[in-house]
Amino acid sequence: MKAVGLGAAALAVPGLVAGCSSASSGGPTKIVFEETKPEVVPYFSNLAAKFNASQSQVVVNHDSISSLIAEFVRGDPPDIDCDNYNLTTSIFVARGVLANLASLPQAKTIDPNIQALVTQYASFQGETSVLPYSIAAEGVIYNVDLFDKVGVSAVPTTWTEFLTVAEKFKSAGITPIYQTYGDTWTTQQGLFDYTVGGMIDVAAFYQQLAREGTNLGPNSAVSFEKDFTAPCQKMLSLAPYFNDNAIAKYYANGNTAFAAGQAGMYMQGPWAVGEILAINPKLKMGTFALPTTDDASQTKCRVNLDLAIWLPRSQAPAQRTAAIQFLDYLMQPNVMNAYNQANLAFSPLKNAPPQTSPIVAGLQKYVSSGRFYQGPGTYVPLTIPVGNFIQEMMLTGNVSGFTSSMDGAFQRLAIRTSA
Amino acid sequence: MTATALPSQRTETAARSRRGALGKVKKLFFPVAPAYLFMVIPAIVLFTFFIIYPTIQGMFWSLTNYVGYGTWHFVGLANYKAAFSDPTIRDSYGFTLLFAVVACVVTNAVAMALALALNAKIKWRTGLRTVFFMPMVISGLVISYVFTFILSTSVPIIASAIHFAPLESSILANQHTAWLGVVFVASWVAIPGAIIIFLAGLVSIPTEVYEAASIDGANAWKKFQRMTFPLLFPFFVINTILTFKGFLNVYDVVVGLTNGGPGTATTSVAMEIFSGFFNGDYAYQMANAVIFFVITMFFAVFQLGVMRRRGGVL
């Protein structure tokens, strides 16, 4: 795969500076543990301190600010990392710079449905490059008291029931669903991912799309035009149930409005829960997966690999051993399950205890049974401004404009990535 | 010329042959006097290492699918082909060129007017000059954050108080007007530098020519049109080249003001190129950078040509 020529070798030199190896000559081995999710930095600093106190061979230094891409370019990645796994970080997997963890005993403790989420973005020669640590599941957040007020006793399980709930709110003079088109990510991760993700097999669609490559067009087996038109139209059909002037509303406005009980439902992930509770600590909330068909057994929920652990491929033996020792500590079932319980997330371990928080417990059955998908928007490389395309579609109602923009962008991407 | 040069050459050759073999060795390794080499070689080494080497490296990676680390392979000219048909890249060139031309005109016109004013016999001339140079020592990013607040908070409040409709909502939040805000702030940042060069030019014009013109009965406009501007022309050319080149590379002001938005309306070429580093599109944006380099070279050569034709001797 790697082209090696005289010129290439000479030019590639700056990228090959080896990582710092403070190989132990007595004393403990020092390793860098990187974890940058802002909300849980103190949680992991605390875990690292506990680990450091529990033994004397390894000293873990928690780095919560560095940029991984810059570190890889410098040839100086952390010894162990636990961060969000998404399409951008999956490039580390695709380019083979992560260690193969298949032989670790922990690799066998992960639910295979959840491990599959890693390879849906990228894989390298069949290796196990990344171990899931925490799954965030997302659905429609609802105001429990307002559901009681308008007379909804159970969460909707079919599309028809969902529309009935929305109608009840509308006739009661309460905004059924709060939308914020102001920032592009909110509509993309909520409304768009839920409706499209609920109606298609997301992973299979993108896999086939990649196979189409440069042939993507009106005659290909899959395309945004063929597969996304109906879901997008369904999404736009919900517009009468949204608040007015959604384009001038931003994430913070949405949280404030929902916390103040101005709307019955809100399409956001568990990250919004903390913000909402900060405004109104007494608000009672629950979450249900958006049903997009009238067959309740078809309903799925959106998930993402909120945290996942990996080690770099090139690493001094002492650092590798020490990093695995810390991985053993982090991935003990009680440590892992406690983290997920405390952070409104789901543990990726087989036979993990169910999430008990009533706010997100409604999604447990989907996570346990593998009825989930990674958002269709998350498979789109950052070079394609899918959020802006969705924003434009929400404002103009032009679905074919959206699908042709997406097909064109993916085809151009295929032209240069297939060469 | 040739006639006078010949005898001296002959003497030199004779002297060299007398010095013998040592002279030949010296000539081989030091074709010019060593003192010059001490000055030139460090500059060439630094320029080669920090400018030429990375440029060639970037050109090399633009022919691959490299992301900055890990495995890669050659893709030929695929990155270039894709870049030419990419609407995002095309739009960034459209914005950058429009912005650079307008900002260049605004900066030079305002800077020349201010330089003339600051060169006139006015009270507090030195103090005023200091005040006008101040934007130069403040970071562009800081200035643009301050102006983001002014343009999106203060200006709309004032505008609605005096019922001036066009500015009642932030111009930075509108896809069609955001670029005007960028032009305004970028020019504000660049004007002091241009003023300094114009002032240097104005000082170099001898006062006698103005006295002579006054005796001939020239008014202020005639003096500017027939004397100041032609004598200032070389300075005008160098200012145009410097500011235009600076505006083509606009980055920090846009990042601070709009971060390329709304949508992608004010995304500059430099921002687009830098985005490749974090989007896993390193090689693709390197191809974009090479295209940008060729375009910038074209402008530079064109401007130098104009300067030579008009007799600028800088």
Q: Which two tokens stand for residue A226?
A: 């063929």
DSSP state of A265: E
pLDDT at A19: 40
Provide CB contacts within 8 A for B24, sequence distance 6+.
Answer: B16
* CA-closest candidate to residue A31, choices A367, A255, A324, A232: A324
| Distance in Å, alpha carbon of A206 to nearest chain B alpha carbon | 18
* CA-closest candidate to residue A371, choices A290, A285, A265: A290
**Does a structural domain hold residue A382?**
yes
Q: Mind listing the pLDDT tens digit for each residue in A337-378?
A: 999 999 999 999 998 999 999 999 999 999 999 999 999 999
String of DSSP letters for chain B: -HHHHHHHHHHHHHHHHHHTHHHHHHHHH-SS-HHHHHHHHHHHHHHIIIIIHHHHHHHHHTTB---SSS---B-TTHHHHHHHT-HHHHHHHHHHHHHHHHHHHHHHHHHHHHHHHHHSS-TTHHHHHHHHHGGGGS-HHHHHHHHHHIIIIIHHHHHHHTT-GGGSS-GGGSTTTHHHHHHHHHHHHHHHHHHHHHHHHHHHS-THHHHHHHHTT--HHHHIIIIIHHHHHHHHHHHHHHHHHHHHT--HHHHHHTTT-STTTT--HHHHHHHHHHHT-HHHHHHHHHHHHHHHHHHHHHHHHHHHHTT---
Same structural domain, A200 and A155: yes
* pLDDT band, residue B12 (cuts 50/70/90): low
Contacts of A385 in chain B (CB under 8 A): 88, 263-264
A399 vs A393: CA distance, rounded Å: 6
Assess whether pLDDT exceeds 50 at residue A3. Answer: no
Mean pLDDT of chain B: 85
**Does a structural domain hold residue A180?**
yes
Same structural domain, A78 and A158: no
Same structural domain, A132 and A51: yes
Domain of residue B106: give its range: 86-309
Q: Which two tokens stand for residue B123?
A: 């009270």
pLDDT at B39: 87
Measured from the Cβ of residue A149, the count of other Cβ atoms closer than 10 Å reads 15
Candidates A416, A417, A418: best to mutate against B (most CBs of B within 10 A) is A416
Rounded to an integer, the average pLDDT of B218-234 is 84
Q: What is the percent of chain B with per-residue pLDDT over 70, rounded to a whole number?
A: 89
- Is-cis flag, bond preceding B34, omega within 30? no
pLDDT at A20: 42
**Does a structural domain hold residue B61?**
no
Q: What is the percent of chain A with per-residue pLDDT over 70, rounded to a whole number?
A: 94
Residue type, position A90, single letter? S
**Does a structural domain hold residue B133?**
yes
Helix (H, G, I), strand (E, B) or coil at A32: strand
Rounded to an integer, the average pLDDT of B5-9 is 48
Mean pLDDT of chain A: 91
Let me know: does A314 contact B69? Beta carbons within 8 Å. no
Rounded to an integer, the average pLDDT of A244-272 is 92
A148 vs A146: CA distance, rounded Å: 5
CA dihedral (B242, B248, B253, B257) in degrees, to 10, reads 150
- A123-127, A330-334, B203-207: which has the minimum mean pLDDT? B203-207
Integer Rg of chain A from CA: 23
Assess whether pLDDT exceeds 80 at residue B307. Answer: no
Q: What is the percent of chain A with per-residue pLDDT over 90, rounded to a whole number?
A: 82
Contacts of B275 in chain A (CB under 8 A): 382-383
- The answer to whether B82 faces chain A, any CB pair under 8 Å, is yes
B231 vs B206: CA distance, rounded Å: 10
**Does a structural domain hold residue A18?**
no
Asked if A88 lies within 8 A of B280 by C-beta distance, the reply is: yes
A177 vs A173: CA distance, rounded Å: 12
**Does a structural domain hold residue A3?**
no
Domain count within chain B: 1
B 60-79 residues inside an 8 A Cβ radius of A: 60-61, 64-65, 67-76, 78-79
Q: Between these two residues, A129 and B302, which has the higher pLDDT value? A: A129
* pLDDT band, residue A16 (cuts 50/70/90): very low
pLDDT at B33: 78
Let me know: does B16 contact B30? Beta carbons within 8 Å. no
Query: A286: which strand partners?
Result: A142
Same structural domain, A310 and A297: no
Rounded to an integer, the average pLDDT of A407-413 is 88
Q: Mind listing the pLDDT tens digit for each residue in B50-102?
A: 999 999 999 999 999 999 898 899 988 989 988 888 888 999 999 999 999 99
Our CA angle for A352, A269, A128, nearest 5°, is 50
Report the residue from B70, B86, B280 with minimal CB separation from A96.
Answer: B70
With residues binned 3-state (H G I as helix, E B as strand, rest as coil), the percentages for chain A, rounded to 5, are: 50, 15, 35
The number of angstroms, rounded, from the C-alpha of B254 to the middle of its chain's C-alpha atoms is: 16
Same structural domain, A330 and A291: no
Rounded to an integer, the average pLDDT of B212-220 is 84
Asked if B280 lies within 8 A of A2 by C-beta distance, the reply is: no
Helix (H, G, I), strand (E, B) or coil at A288: strand
* pLDDT band, residue B19 (cuts 50/70/90): low
Q: Which two tokens stand for residue A80?
A: 């162990």
**Does a structural domain hold residue B128?**
yes
Sheet strand arrangement including A285-288: A175-178, A263-266, A140-143, A285-288
Contacts of B64 in chain A (CB under 8 A): 3
Contacts of B50 in chain A (CB under 8 A): none
Q: Which two tokens stand for residue A158?
A: 């079919």
**Does a structural domain hold residue B214?**
yes
B 21-60 residues inside an 8 A Cβ radius of A: 56-57, 60
Asked if A7 lies within 8 A of B60 by C-beta distance, the reply is: yes
Let me know: does B196 contact B107? Beta carbons within 8 Å. no
**Does a structural domain hold residue A195?**
yes
**Does a structural domain hold residue A28?**
yes
**Does a structural domain hold residue B138?**
yes
Measured in Å, how far apart are chain B's first and last C-alpha atoms? 25
B188 vs B138: CA distance, rounded Å: 11
Domain count within chain A: 2
Q: Which two tokens stand for residue B92?
A: 């960034």
Candidates A66, A383, A386: best to mutate against B (most CBs of B within 10 A) is A383
Report the residue from A2, A72, A385 with minimal CB separation from B73.
Answer: A2
pLDDT at B119: 87
Same structural domain, A132 and A99: yes
Report the residue from A96, A383, A415 with minimal CB separation from B279.
Answer: A383
B 87-126 residues inside an 8 A Cβ radius of A: 88
Find, in chain A, the residue whose alpha carbon is nearest to that of B85.
A412
Q: Between these two residues, A88 and B2, which has the higher pLDDT value? A: A88
Same structural domain, A228 and A285: yes
Q: Is the ipTM of this complex over 0.85?
A: no
pLDDT at A99: 97
**Does a structural domain hold residue A13?**
no
* pLDDT band, residue A311 (cuts 50/70/90): very high
Rounded to an integer, the average pLDDT of A282-311 is 96
Query: A141: which strand partners?
Result: A266, A287
Here the CATH number for the domain that contains residue B200 is 1.10.3720.10
Q: Mind listing the pLDDT tens digit for each residue in B97-122?
A: 999 999 999 999 999 999 999 988 88
The number of angstroms, rounded, from the C-alpha of A189 to the middle of its chain's C-alpha atoms is: 9
**Does a structural domain hold residue B102?**
yes
Q: Which two tokens stand for residue A157?
A: 């399980």
Assess whether pLDDT exceeds 70 at residue A412. Answer: yes
* pLDDT band, residue A10 (cuts 50/70/90): very low
- A206-220, A230-244, A281-295, B48-62: which has the minimum mean pLDDT? A206-220
Here the CATH number for the domain that contains residue A66 is 3.40.190.10
CA dihedral (A347, A353, A355, A358) in degrees, to 10, reads 180
Same structural domain, A193 and A261: yes
pLDDT at B241: 87
- Backbone phi, psi, residue A152, to 5°: -105, 120
Domain of residue A322: give its range: 24-137+304-374
DSSP state of A188: I
pLDDT at B11: 53
Tell me whether strands A131-138 and A140-143 are parallel, antiparallel or unpaired.
unpaired
- SS3 for A37-82 is CHHHHHHHHHHHHHHHHHCCCEEEEEECCCCHHHHHHHCCCCCEEE
B108 vs B236: CA distance, rounded Å: 8
pLDDT at B114: 93
Report the residue from A97, A382, A416 with minimal CB separation from B78.
Answer: A416
Find, in chain B, the residue whose alpha carbon is nearest to that of A419.
B75
Rounded to an integer, the average pLDDT of B5-27 is 58
Total beta-carbon pairs less than 8 A apart between chain A and chain B: 83
> Which residues of A have a CB under 8 Å from any CB of B?
1-3, 7-8, 11, 14-15, 69, 72-73, 75, 88, 91-92, 94-97, 381-383, 385, 388, 391, 412-413, 415-419
Assess whether pLDDT exceeds 70 at residue B6. Answer: no
